[in-house]
Every structure is written in C-alpha cells, then in structure tokens.
C-alpha cells in the first residue's frame, strides 16, 4: 500500500503545480452609500399630474354646464323629459309646446304655434325622443285640426318638426284626445263631429304615412284615450246621453289589429264600467300592461253663489256647425274622494286605491304613465308607484293645457 500512496501523492503534487497562483483581490474602497434609484417615482408623479388636470377640467365643466344638477337626477328608468302644451298668454306670447327635464323642470326646448292657432293635446312616444301635438285654430267654430310630430335630441332640444298627414276633420276635444303607441308608429285621436247631429269620431292614423281610419262613436263623443304598451288594445271613455238630464259614461276597450283597424269599436262586450253622467266626468287611463285602469271620478261643485251648469253645452250654430259655450266660472269640477281608483280592465271591479293627490299643477286632473308603468305623471306631480311617496312637483308646469312623457 505504501507504493500506491506514494504514487497518489506524487499525482496530487503534479496537479497542484499546474494551478496559477493568484493574489487575493483587495476589497473595494469604502465610499458614500447612495439610495437605490426609485424608478417608479416618475410614472407616479406623471399620473398624479394627469389626475389633477382632469379634476380641474371637470370643475370648470361643472361650473359651465347647463345640464341638470346631478343631485336632482331622475331615478333610473324614469323618462328624461316632459312634453307640454302651453296656452297663449296675451298677444306677445303665443301658444307653444315645451320640453322640460323631468328631474328639475328646466326648460330645454320649445316651439311656437303659428299665428291664429294653438296647441292642445300631446302624446309622447316610448323612447322619449318624439312627441305629437294637436294644433287647431284658436277660435271655437273651426272644425279642422292638424297633428304635428316633434323630435328632440339627447339634450331635449327640438331638432325636427313636421305634420302627420294632412288636415283632419273634426274639433279636437279637450280631455286626453290623443294617444300613441310606444314605438311612435300609430296615433289615435278623438274629435267631435262637425254639424249639429254629427257623431263623435275616433281616428287611427299611421304616423309615417298619415293614412287615416275614422270610426263614429255617437253624439256624446269619446275622450280619455290610452293604448296598451303593445298597441293592441284601445281604452277610452264615451258619454251616452239618453235624455235632457240623464245618461251615463262608459269606460270601454276595443281590440286594434296590427294594421290599425278596429273591427268592433262599440262592441257590447267592450264595456268595462258604466257610471252616471249627470254633473259628472271622469279622468281615466290604462296601465301599459293593459290589465288595470287608474280612474278618478269628477263632479260639479258650485262655487259660492254658483247656480248654473259648470260646462258649456254643445249647441247647433246657424250654419249647422257646433258652438261650445264658455265654461261657467261659478262651478268647478272636483275629484270624488281623495284617491285614484284602480280597476280591472276586464270587468271594471275595483282592485285597489292609490292616494296620491296633491295641489294641482295644471288646473285639471291628468294621469299619464310612462311606458314601463312604474312612473306616473299626474297633475299633482311625479309619482314612483313602487315607493308610495308623495307626488314630486315639477317646476314650470303650472297652467299647462296637457302634458305627457
């Protein structure tokens, strides 16, 4: 073993001899220590600067913005605009249609009626970008009217105005005499007939072509028109006079075909409810689902010293036209009770009551649903029917003739 150990030792020495000897490298001289470079600082400062600039721009924009106060914005889903017809106020202020924000009442657009005419009933399409208005001569003897379509942009400014079809025959009645399908393609109007014994008319108009169908409804005429959201059912009130001091008011429904034809406007099974008409009137509209109606009955209430009929009676003029006397100021129409009655559109039975009356903005009752059926525009204000709160008054709507949204 000694020889083997000697040979291994000699090999190890030989290998060690081939390794180059190196001097140990000295440690670097100690110098001042520097903090590591914060390369993230520059991007952060840039982002902060950009954010400050954006904030400044937003502040300036908010100060200059004429849009609605965000604290007063409407709830999600509520229509953005209310469309109203406003009577003339003397020679210097003709009748006009107005577009107002539903959240604030701020005026966003308007259009005047031509000289010698006035706007009456209005109806809004479901998209909130189009509405229709009846325009007729300012005198009570004329038996012609037109329907105009107005389109608005996202700010409420009226950007287009055009007539629907030509001139329609009849005298547009004052009580909710215009309705439109949510898609804005079909209009329904109610008008008194021309002549002493001419029947009242319900007309159906294609809003694109102006083509019209006319249906007689009797001497008492029709009012309070509303359509279901699918446009397949028309609801209306009809006054039936059976004598000098007797008669009744019918609440009715009628099927509307896709073509716009109404096969049986006065079918016997279309009566929802009958009510006495002497000294009474109704304001009624259908919930868009077509299953229920909101109804308020009105009655004549004499003011102090009042002794005459509240409403001007329709009489025959010497030329065979109709003459409507001015309403007697010694009477006024007042709601019966303090709530809307909710009734079935099938059989007229009461299904509920909604107490949402307040101070009237319009001087007459009005009930207009939005297309969803959740929000109600009444003469007392805006109502969210899911919240059961009091009506919210909208500024700028006092004294309007009609409104819709």
Tens digit of pLDDT per residue, the chain (405 long)?
555 456 546 654 555 555 454 454 454 454 555 555 555 455 666 666 767 776 666 554 444 444 433 334 555 688 999 999 999 887 778 999 999 999 999 999 999 999 999 999 999 999 999 999 999 998 767 789 999 999 999 999 999 999 999 999 888 776 668 999 999 999 999 998 887 778 899 999 999 999 999 999 988 889 999 999 999 999 999 988 776 667 889 999 999 999 899 999 998 889 999 988 877 888 899 999 999 999 988 877 776 554 444 443 333 333 333 333 344 456 666 677 677 889 999 999 999 988 766 666 666 678 899 989 999 998 888 989 888 778 888 888 888 899 999
- Does residue 254 lie within any of the structural domains? yes
Cα(137)–Cα(146) distance, rounded to whole angstroms? 9
Under 8 Å between Cβ of 201 and 170: yes
CATH code of 363's domain: 2.120.10.80
Provide DSSP, 68-137.
--GGGPPPTTS-SEEEEEE---STTS--EEEEEETTT--EEEEEEPPTTEEEEEEEE-TTSSEEEEEEEE
Residue 268: inside a domain: yes
Which of 89, 191, 213 lies closest to 134, judged by CA?
191
- Please list, in sequence order, all residues whose beta carbon lies within 8 angstroms of the beta carbon of residue 130, skipping any fewer than 6 positions away: 124, 149, 150, 151, 152, 184
Of 256, 257, 303, 297, the residue nearest 280 (C-alpha): 297
Instruction: Examine residue 10 and state whether it is found in any structural domain, yes or no.
Output: no
Task: Give me 83's structure tokens.
Answer: 């469309």
In a domain? residue 43: no
Two tokens at 84?
């109203």
What is the pTM (predicted TM-score) of this model? 0.73
Torsion of CA 68, 72, 78, 79, to 10 degrees: -30
Give the model's pLDDT for residue 135.
94
Q: How far is it, in rounded angstroms, from Cα 334 to Cα 64?
A: 45
In this prediction, residue 220 carries a pLDDT of 83
Is residue 35 assigned to a domain?
A: no
User: Encoding tokens for residue 339?
Assistant: 């709530």
Cβ-based neighbours of 94, under 8 Å, separated by 6 or more: 88, 112, 113, 115, 118
Q: What is d(CA 289, CA 293) in angstroms, rounded to the nearest whole number? A: 10
Q: Is the dihedral of CA 47, 65, 97, 300 positive or negative?
A: positive
d(CA 159, CA 106): 18
Distances (CA, A) of 1 to 4, 69, 183: 5, 105, 111
pLDDT of residue 206: 94
Residue-number span of the structural domain to which 143 is assigned: 75-404
Chain centre distance of CA 289: 16
Q: Considering its fold, how many domains does the chain have in total? A: 1
Residue 275 phi/psi, 5-degree rounding, is -140, 150
Residue 372 lies in a domain: yes
Q: How far apart are CA 206 and CA 93, in angstroms?
A: 32
Residue 173 to residue 201: CA distance in whole angstroms: 10
Residue 3: inside a domain: no
Q: What is the pLDDT of residue 381?
A: 87
pLDDT recorded at residue 193: 85
Question: Measured over all CA atoms, what is the biggest interatomic distance in the chain, rounded to whole angstroms?
Answer: 156
User: Is residue 60 domain-resident?
Assistant: no
pLDDT at 360: 65
User: Using CA of residue 96, residue 188, residue 152, residue 383, what is the dihedral sign?
Assistant: positive
Residue 8: enclosing H or E segment and its boundaries? helix 2-17
**Which residues are registered as beta bridge partners of 131?**
124, 150
Give the Cα separation of 188 and 195 in Å (integer): 22
Q: Which helix (H) or strand (E) holds 10?
A: helix 2-17
Integer angstrom CA distances of residue 10 from 2, 5, 7, 311, 335: 12, 9, 5, 137, 127
């Amino acid at each position: 073993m000694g020889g083997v150990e000697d040979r291994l030792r000699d090999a190890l020495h030989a290998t060690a001899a081939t390794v180059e000897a190196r001097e140990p490298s000295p440690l670097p001289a100690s110098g001042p220590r520097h903090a590591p470079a914060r390369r993230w600082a520059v991007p952060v400062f840039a982002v902060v600067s950009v954010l400050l600039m954006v904030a400044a721009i937003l502040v300036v924009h908010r100060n200059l913005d004429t849009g609605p106060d965000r604290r007063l914005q409407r709830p999600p889903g509520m229509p953005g605009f209310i469309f109203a017809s406003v009577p003339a106020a003397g020679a210097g202020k003709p009748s006009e249609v107005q577009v107002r924000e539903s959240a604030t009442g701020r005026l966003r657009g308007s259009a005047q009626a031509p000289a010698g005419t006035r706007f009456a009933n209005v109806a809004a399409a479901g998209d909130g970008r189009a509405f229709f208005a009846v325009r007729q001569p300012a005198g009570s003897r004329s038996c012609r009217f037109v329907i105009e379509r107005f389109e608005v942009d996202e700010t409420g400014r009226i950007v287009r105005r055009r007539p629907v079809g030509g001139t329609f025959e009849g005298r547009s009645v004052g009580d909710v005499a215009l309705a439109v399908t949510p898609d804005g393609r079909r209009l329904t109007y109610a008008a008194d007939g021309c002549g002493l014994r001419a029947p009242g008319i319900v007309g159906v108009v294609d809003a694109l072509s102006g083509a019209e169908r006319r249906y007689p409804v009797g001497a008492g005429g029709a009012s309070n028109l509303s359509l279901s959201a699918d446009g397949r059912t028309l609801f209306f009130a009809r006054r039936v006079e059976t004598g000098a001091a007797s008669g009744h008011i019918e609440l009715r429904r009628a099927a509307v075909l896709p073509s716009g034809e109404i096969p049986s406007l006065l079918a016997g099974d279309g009566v929802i409810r009958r009510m006495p008409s002497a000294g009474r009137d109704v304001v009624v509209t259908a919930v868009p689902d077509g299953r229920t109606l909101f109804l308020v009955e009105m009655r004549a209430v004499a003011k102090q010293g009042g002794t005459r009929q509240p409403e001007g009676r329709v009489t025959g003029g010497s030329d065979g036209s109709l003459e409507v006397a001015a309403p007697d100021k010694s009477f006024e129409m007042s709601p019966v009770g303090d709530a809307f009655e909710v009734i079935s559109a099938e059989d007229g039975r009461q299904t509920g009551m909604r107490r949402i009356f307040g101070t009237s903005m319009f001087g007459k009752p009005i009930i207009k649903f939005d297309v969803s059926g959740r929000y109600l525009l009444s003469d007392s204000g805006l109502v969210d029917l899911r919240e059961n709160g009091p009506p919210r008054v909208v500024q700028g709507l006092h004294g309007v003739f009609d409104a819709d949204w």
